[in-house]
Amino acid sequence: MQKRFYHQLILGTTALSLAGAWGAPAALAQNDGLRLEEIVVTAQKREESLQEVPIQVTAFTAQGIEDAGITNTQDFVNLVPNMSLDDSFTYLNTFVVVRGVTQINNADAPIAIVIDGVPQNNQKQFKMNLFDVERIEVLKGPQGALYGRNAIGGAVNIVTKAPSNRLEGFANASYGNGDALRFSGGISGPIVEDKVMARVAAFYTEDNGRIDNTFLGDNPDFIDHDYGIRGRITVAASESVDLDFRASYSDFDAGGLYDSAVFSGDANDFVEPQQSLLGRTFGDILELSFKFDADLQFATLTGITGYTDLTENNRGDLDFSNPVDKPNGFLGFGFQAGQGQDLSVELLSQELRLVSPDDQRLRWIVGAYYIHTDRALRTRAFIDLDGTLEQIDNGIVIVDLQEDNSNDAYAVFGQIDFDITEALTLSGALRYDRDEREQTDLVSGAVRDESFEAIQPKLTLTYHLSEDALAYATYSTGFRSGGFNAPTVSIPVFDDEYLQNYELGFKSSWADNRVILNGAVYFSQVDDFQFFFVDVSSASQVIANIDDVEIFGVELEVQALVAEGLQVFGAVGTTDSEIQSITVFPGNEGNKTPKTTDWTLNAGFQYRAPITNGFDGFVRVDYEHRGKKYWQVDNADVQGSIDLLNVRVGVESEMWGLYFWGRNITDEEYYTDFNPREFSGLDIDIGFLAQPATYGIEGKIRF
């Protein structure tokens, strides 16, 4: 541990020393009017320049989203250092990891996910198609003081495009290998000019898949359909009151549960799925929201009401094999087995907050928040006699667990920013969260309830070294609520998780904003770190706690406009986690936490230049390196480092564009999830294969 600490300290000191080396590189010293785009974010619940926010934030503007070819959450997460998003199990199921803090299945995320001000409070909501988006902000480090429970690793703030006061629209179409089709489009304009404006956007995708099931001869990663539509209306009710109504609906039917049976037990043995049952995931999501902003002169009063109704059902193989490759069947019992879950979630949230004007020496925010969640989950396992998924309803069911979970969460919060001098600002924030949970076993009728609560303070000192540079020191905290496992699980209740973070960082722009360099060094102490494993023998998904964890890390991000039209960018992040004590699986002290990647590197460039009158050529290359991945607490299963390369090349004008794109063009093989037998209850290891090389063409028009 001490050696690791010194290693991180040296890296951090190097990063922070760069913050003091203000001055432009010689090659960029001449000011020829070229500047990087200034990005305005709402990371702290008010509009601020990205370079003025004392938080490590990776932000993507509408143009940046378009240039990078971002169409879903996976695309932008891959561009953020110290963050990963791994597909697993079902179509919507993912594990997001930020600075070593990990997603767990069927439970709260380690980050706050907010779309147009409305929190998305279920794991299944993070994996989404992104269309007609104005901005994406990724905040790293605990943001509990303003974003509340579950912002223990950070927050993701997604802002969709607002209705416009003039008629405009767009249409995109893409075709790729695996006969992958994607369409998106939208139209916006005034209903009553300057008063009532509307915007409607939609997408549709289908995909035959690229991963082979070697037993069935099918592609288990198919998408039969996935479509969504979103409508938004804004109303200028008066000079001081604005209203915002939003509704969206999506429906999907796709593959799932196609983990490969890794008989060798080697996390670097990449084999294709071989199940005798072709998995399937299907469901829909309805979201409604209403927001108002009222200018009270002394402050702006904002109210945000959100409602979500989410359903995700899955069916598939339980033994992840077939009678030829594994004739002794499920756990050696001589028969093949299948499984399925029916998940239903309803969320109703309400937030009220007052925000003072921006142009004051003392600025403040106060607010209150409430959310009610109803979550029903049915888990079944069945004997597979004929290779059909319908056996879950009309076959021999060997496990049938049904639970209903009710959750009420309350919070009050506030933040104060005070300019001690023109250069020095002190910020303090405080939030109180209380989570009341109740679970009903629908089989036995048994009811149990628990409450979890926490106070989350945050303190930041920001010093402007110059007009173009600042340094900050932050103490921040995060809280992830505890909860219930399924009624029959040996660990009935898992504890809440609490994280304390100490961070030193800087933000700087050089050469008249042609170069931006930001960085931080952080140290986190985590009590009752939550992690996940599976007990297949009882069809149980288990959440447990690691008593104490420490995490060290360094982050650096740079972007530069080196010539007209030519932009380069790069980022590096390290995550050095160490288990200090663990009761549930003793003897693993000193190991890294599950699903941790020790370091990540992103680098790339994009170049846009005129080729004829009115037409530009465009090329972008993104390279990503991911270090070793430690799958479980024993660190016995470690995936080697991987290198991913994406390209995007095209011709475009102001009104249209035509592009060739490729992702993972070197066809790197790796698992996005891996469950060793010691933590799954199976007699084999299983791994969820990542997508191989994907490529295609895309056309777009706007009017």
Q: Is the confidence at residue 135, as pLDDT, over 90?
A: yes
- From the list 213, 226, 425, the residue with the least C-alpha distance to 320 is 213
Q: 92-106, 299-313, 384-398, 508-522: which range is least confident on average?
A: 92-106
The pLDDT of 647-657, averaged and rounded, is 96
User: pLDDT band at residue 163, thresholds of 50, 70 and 90?
Assistant: very high
Q: Is the confidence at residue 491, as pLDDT, over 80?
A: yes
User: pLDDT band at residue 9, thresholds of 50, 70 and 90?
Assistant: very low
**DSSP type of residue 678:** G
User: What pLDDT, on a 0 to 100 scale, did the predictor assign at position 538?
Assistant: 58
Q: What is the pLDDT of residues 308-332, one digit of tens each?
A: 999 999 999 999 999 999 999 999 9
The pLDDT of 13-20, averaged and rounded, is 38
Kindly report the backbone phi and psi dihedral angles of residue 144, in degrees, each rounded to the nearest multiple of 5, phi listed first.
Answer: -60, -30
Sign of CA dihedral 488, 489, 495, 497: negative
Q: Is the confidence at residue 211, as pLDDT, over 90?
A: yes
User: pLDDT band at residue 478, thresholds of 50, 70 and 90?
Assistant: very high
User: pLDDT band at residue 17, thresholds of 50, 70 and 90?
Assistant: very low
Q: Is the confidence at residue 426, as pLDDT, over 60?
A: yes
User: What pLDDT, on a 0 to 100 scale, did the predictor assign at position 47?
Assistant: 85
The pLDDT of 290-317, averaged and rounded, is 96
Q: 13-17, 347-351, 509-513, 549-553: which range is least confident on average?
A: 13-17
User: pLDDT band at residue 536, thresholds of 50, 70 and 90?
Assistant: low
Token digits of residue 37: 């785009």
Instruction: Give the start-end residues of each E strand in 178-299.
Output: 180-192, 196-207, 223-236, 241-254, 260-262, 280-295
Exposure string of 30-46, with b = 16+ CB inside 10 Å and e = fewer, is eeeebebeebebebbbb
| Alpha carbon distance 431, 101 (integer Å) | 21
User: pLDDT band at residue 535, thresholds of 50, 70 and 90?
Assistant: low
> 422 or 28: whose pLDDT is higher?
422
User: What pLDDT, on a 0 to 100 scale, did the predictor assign at position 144?
Assistant: 85
- From the list 20, 28, 15, the residue with the least C-alpha distance to 567 is 28
**Helix/strand/coil for 231:** strand
User: What pLDDT, on a 0 to 100 scale, did the predictor assign at position 149?
Assistant: 81
Widest distance between CA atoms in the chain: 76
Could you give the angle at the alpha carbon of 352 between the alpha carbons of 346 and 354, nearest 5°?
A: 160
Q: What is the pLDDT of residues 85-95, one digit of tens each?
A: 999 999 999 98
Q: Is the confidence at residue 351, as pLDDT, over 90?
A: yes
Alpha-carbon distances of 258 from 91, 216, 219, 673, 687, rounded to whole Å: 10, 12, 9, 11, 9
User: pLDDT band at residue 36, thresholds of 50, 70 and 90?
Assistant: confident
Q: How many residues does the chain have?
A: 703
The pLDDT of 553-572, averaged and rounded, is 96
The pLDDT of 645-666, averaged and rounded, is 97
| Alpha carbon distance 593, 633 (integer Å) | 6
User: What pLDDT, on a 0 to 100 scale, did the predictor assign at position 105?
Assistant: 74
How confident is the prediction for the chain on average, in pLDDT?
A: 91
Alpha-carbon distances of 697 from 10, 74, 176, 637, 703, rounded to whole Å: 45, 19, 6, 38, 21
User: pLDDT band at residue 474, thresholds of 50, 70 and 90?
Assistant: very high
Q: Is the confidence at residue 11, as pLDDT, over 50?
A: no
User: pLDDT band at residue 581, thresholds of 50, 70 and 90?
Assistant: very high
Task: Give me the percent of the chain exceeding a pLDDT of 90.
Answer: 81
User: What pLDDT, on a 0 to 100 scale, did the predictor assign at position 2?
Assistant: 43
User: pLDDT band at residue 524, thresholds of 50, 70 and 90?
Assistant: very high
Domains present along the chain, CATH in parentheses? 2-702 (2.40.170.20)
User: What pLDDT, on a 0 to 100 scale, did the predictor assign at position 489?
Assistant: 81
| Alpha carbon distance 289, 224 (integer Å) | 29
User: What pLDDT, on a 0 to 100 scale, did the predictor assign at position 510?
Assistant: 94
Indicate the pairing of strand 48-49 with strand 40-41: antiparallel
Is the separation of the CB atoms in 688 and 259 below 8 Å?
A: yes
Kindly report the backbone phi and psi dihedral angles of residue 275, in degrees, each rounded to the nearest multiple of 5, phi listed first.
Answer: -75, 155
> 609 or 11: whose pLDDT is higher?
609
The pLDDT of 180-205, averaged and rounded, is 97
User: What pLDDT, on a 0 to 100 scale, did the predictor assign at position 341?
Assistant: 95
Sign of CA dihedral 468, 473, 475, 481: positive
| Alpha carbon distance 71, 59 (integer Å) | 15
User: What pLDDT, on a 0 to 100 scale, did the predictor assign at position 657?
Assistant: 96
User: pLDDT band at residue 605, thresholds of 50, 70 and 90?
Assistant: very high
User: What pLDDT, on a 0 to 100 scale, did the predictor assign at position 26?
Assistant: 30
**Helix/strand/coil for 77:** helix
> 210 or 488: whose pLDDT is higher?
210
**Helix/strand/coil for 625:** strand
The pLDDT of 579-595, averaged and rounded, is 95
Please report, in angstroms and rounded to a whole number, the separation of the first and last CA atoms in the chain: 58
